[in-house]
A and B are shown apart, each in its own frame.
Chain A
Amino acid sequence: MSLAIASSLPQSPGKRVLPGFALSMGISLLFISLVLLLPITGLVVQTAGMTWQEYWFVVSDPRVVASYKVTLWAAFIASLFNGVVGLLLAWVLVRYEFPGKRIVDALMDLPFALPTAVAGITLSALFAQNGWYGSMLASIGVEVAYTPLGIIVAMSFTSLPFVVRTVQPVLEDLAPEDEEAGITMGGTDLTVFRRIIFPSLWPALLTGIALSFTRSLGEFGAIIFIAGNMPYISEVTSLMIFVRLQEYDYAGASAIASVVLMASLVLLFLINIWQAHYLRRIHGR
């Protein structure tokens, strides 16, 4: 009985370092309502004028469905690619000292700072058949600009920092002693990575990949300049939304946007649940 009370004591809000639970909770809720619920409410209001049949007609239009496929596939590949490359970059930035490290570290955020349209124009200039990379790739028969591959390139460029920035702090906390212990006990490099490093990084890496994925689902500015935007082949969902807006069809635009939003929310929600479960398992909490 007394044990139970003692163990529950630190959990009570009265013992927090920062005072003012009610106030901070209130501000948090207000803020969540403003930045999250308001746009969602806006979406619902815009689509409320539609019947279910109309809604279904808009979101299941074959061209829009084709755009879901293109967007999902491209975002999936781009975020996997970012998972590998982002992990590598974070690893290099945390574990090694080299001249210009600070600069490279700062450059990681460039895709966030750069207006996405600028990124798109630059990427399409580089990857076009007469561009620097494009001409080299063309000689081995690979076309990037104005193909679905271009969409993947634009997506992975704009969302790479998500992976680097989520993995980096976890990697910094990871004590090299753990690895050393593993090596002393006779583990191969691969075993140490697989059994010691990866399990600690995995939740952060997955979050990074998921953020990168959801960001890619909504990306517009960078993609339209490099995609070629051919119907059924390289049109992304955000372009479909843009088209509806151009036609003053706000309900249609909101309907398609709601599909993207739901996909993102479901994914993030699932990952959060899985992560909580995973952390409980490895930390025994």
Chain B
Amino acid sequence: MKLVKHAKSVALALAIGLGSSHSFAAEQTLLNSSYDIARELFASYNEHFAAVWKEKTGNTVEVRQSHGGSSRQAQAIIEGLRADVVTYNQVTDVDILHTRGKLIPADWRDQLPNASSPYYSTMAYLVRKGNPKGVSNWDDLARDDVSSVFPNPKTSGNGRYTYLAAYGYAQKAFEGDEAKADEFVKTFLSRVAVFDTGGRGATTTFVERGIGDVLITFESEVNNIIAEFPDHGFEVVVPKVSFLAEFPVAVVERHATRNGNLELAKAYLDELYSEDAQRLLAGFNYRVHNEVVQAEFADQFPSVELLTIEEIAGSWDDAMSIHFANGAKLDQLQRR
């Protein structure tokens, strides 16, 4: 009882203290529209950024977060959600802000280093304890005794990346022989046990329902799942060749300007490239560009040959029209 009373008075004192600091420094709010599984990551980064911003300008900043499937998030912005910055897991979802809404400039990828992608990941495998099927690379996933789980490429960016990674592998393995690559990916797709609509659904299917021998998802997610379910003894397998999954960021200039947040929004994204922030990102199992941090985390990230979208399909636009559009290659390969 006494303790409660004490706690209350402390809380009151804190509230008064906070209240008084308000009157000296301006309080700013920033809205970050982000992808589904980035909640914990940005909760942590926002804390970091608030401290940096406070030190730099004396202002308090409260970053509000909006999370969801990034295609739907982009749609919400086009329809009027006044987000200041976007931090997505698909280049196409940022692009659409330019093509559909003219909210960002066409050359948004040149505005920040590394094609506006402060961190990246790749597609890796989560296998069951002891890797009983001995899965090590994409060709193992086409074996008829191995079944895999990954989200539907038609409804999930995660699934599209997996498809592209497998296709990129096949292009290399068959030295550009398109017919053979198609045949391989067709077999690979036929070994899928369940197509969930999103990444989290696929994780549930693999972990909770016990379906499939391999779950394919972002390397960062694979590591998070292993940490989250230590009893299952899951293991990570990083294939020798995989896809460079970029996590593009951009200031929604039109909205940030209207909200009076342009400076703040730019600083928010710039800070992602700082050494401290890169260390924080690496702590969430994302690969980063900073060389000092890369050396620190070298054990955690096995070397892998990363294929870019340009190498596999020319560009994202081409990838969409050649592979994912209605009736395009993916549809043909799934046809029975």
For chain B, the bracket of interface size reads 20 to 34
Q: Is A184 an interface residue (CB 8 A)?
A: no
| CB interface residues, B 134-182, toward A, < 8 Å | 152, 154-155
Chain A residue at minimum C-beta to C-beta distance from B156: A246
| CB interface residues, A 109-130, toward B, < 8 Å | 121, 124-125, 128-130
User: B326 and A252: CB pair below 8 A?
Assistant: yes
Cα–Cα distance between A126 and B153 once the two chains are bound (Å): 27
User: A146 and B336: CB pair below 8 A?
Assistant: no
User: B195 and A228: CB pair below 8 A?
Assistant: yes
Cα–Cα distance between A15 and B166 once the two chains are bound (Å): 75
User: B196 and A224: CB pair below 8 A?
Assistant: yes
User: A229 and B326: CB pair below 8 A?
Assistant: no
Interface flags for B178-209 (1: CB within 8 Å of A; 0: not) read 00000000000000111111000100110011
Partner-binding segment picked from B103-111, B258-266, B307-315, B327-335: B327-335
User: B96 and A125: CB pair below 8 A?
Assistant: no
Q: Is B302 an interface residue (CB 8 A)?
A: no
The contact sample of 19 A-B pairs, CB cut-off 8 A, is A61-B326, A61-B327, A63-B334, A128-B209, A128-B210, A128-B211, A130-B209, A146-B193, A146-B205, A228-B193, A229-B194, A232-B334, A244-B326, A246-B155, A247-B324, A248-B75, A248-B96, A248-B100, A249-B326
Chain A residue at minimum C-beta to C-beta distance from B195: A229
Cα–Cα distance between A145 and B194 once the two chains are bound (Å): 10
A97 to chain B, nearest CB (A): 41
Q: Is B71 an interface residue (CB 8 A)?
A: yes
Cα–Cα distance between A124 and B75 once the two chains are bound (Å): 30
Q: Is A243 an interface residue (CB 8 A)?
A: yes
* 6 closest residue pairs by CB, A with B: A128-B209, A229-B195, A231-B334, A243-B154, A130-B210, A228-B194
Q: Which residues of B lie under 8 Å from residue A231 when comparing CB positions? A: 195, 334-336
Cα–Cα distance between A239 and B195 once the two chains are bound (Å): 11
Interface residues of A (CB under 8 A from B): 58, 61-63, 121, 124-125, 128-131, 145-146, 224-225, 228-232, 239, 242-244, 246-249, 252
Chain B residue at minimum C-beta to C-beta distance from A246: B155
Cα–Cα distance between A62 and B154 once the two chains are bound (Å): 16
* New contact pairs (17) apart from A128-B209, A128-B211, A231-B336, CB-CB < 8 Å: A121-B204, A124-B209, A131-B209, A146-B194, A146-B205, A225-B201, A228-B193, A230-B192, A232-B334, A232-B335, A242-B197, A243-B154, A246-B71, A246-B154, A246-B155, A248-B100, A249-B326
B43 to chain A, nearest CB (A): 24
Q: Which residues of B lie under 8 Å from residue A124 when comparing CB positions? A: 205, 209
Question: What number of A-B contacts does a CB cutoff of 8 Å give?
Answer: 71
Q: Which residues of A lie under 8 Å from residue B326 when comparing CB positions? A: 58, 61, 244, 247, 249, 252
Question: Which of A62, A228, A230, A246 has most B Cβ within 10 Å?
Answer: A246
Cα–Cα distance between A247 and B155 once the two chains are bound (Å): 8
User: B209 and A145: CB pair below 8 A?
Assistant: yes
Q: Given contacts A62-B335, A243-B155, A246-B155, are A229 and B197 in contact (CB under 8 A)?
A: yes
Q: Which residues of B lie under 8 Å from residue A58 when comparing CB positions? A: 326
Q: Which residues of A lie under 8 Å from residue B196 when comparing CB positions? A: 224-225, 229
Cα–Cα distance between A229 and B156 once the two chains are bound (Å): 13
Chain B residue at minimum C-beta to C-beta distance from A228: B194
Cα–Cα distance between A176 and B155 once the two chains are bound (Å): 55
Chain B residue at minimum C-beta to C-beta distance from A63: B331
Cα–Cα distance between A255 and B325 once the two chains are bound (Å): 17
Q: Which residues of B lie under 8 Å from residue A228 when comparing CB positions? A: 193-195
A223 to chain B, nearest CB (A): 11
Q: Which residues of A lie under 8 Å from residue B208 when comparing CB positions? A: 125, 128
Cα–Cα distance between A242 and B197 once the two chains are bound (Å): 10
Cα–Cα distance between A273 and B196 once the two chains are bound (Å): 41
User: B211 and A224: CB pair below 8 A?
Assistant: no
User: B209 and A224: CB pair below 8 A?
Assistant: no
Q: Which residues of B lie under 8 Å from residue A243 when comparing CB positions? A: 152, 154-155
Cα–Cα distance between A249 and B204 once the two chains are bound (Å): 29
Cα–Cα distance between A244 and B324 once the two chains are bound (Å): 11
User: B195 and A129: CB pair below 8 A?
Assistant: no
Cα–Cα distance between A239 and B201 once the two chains are bound (Å): 15
Q: Given contacts A61-B326, A61-B327, A228-B193, are A242 and B211 in contact (CB under 8 A)?
A: no
Q: Which residues of A lie under 8 Å from residue B75 when comparing CB positions? A: 248
Q: Which residues of A lie under 8 Å from residue B197 when comparing CB positions? A: 224, 229, 239, 242
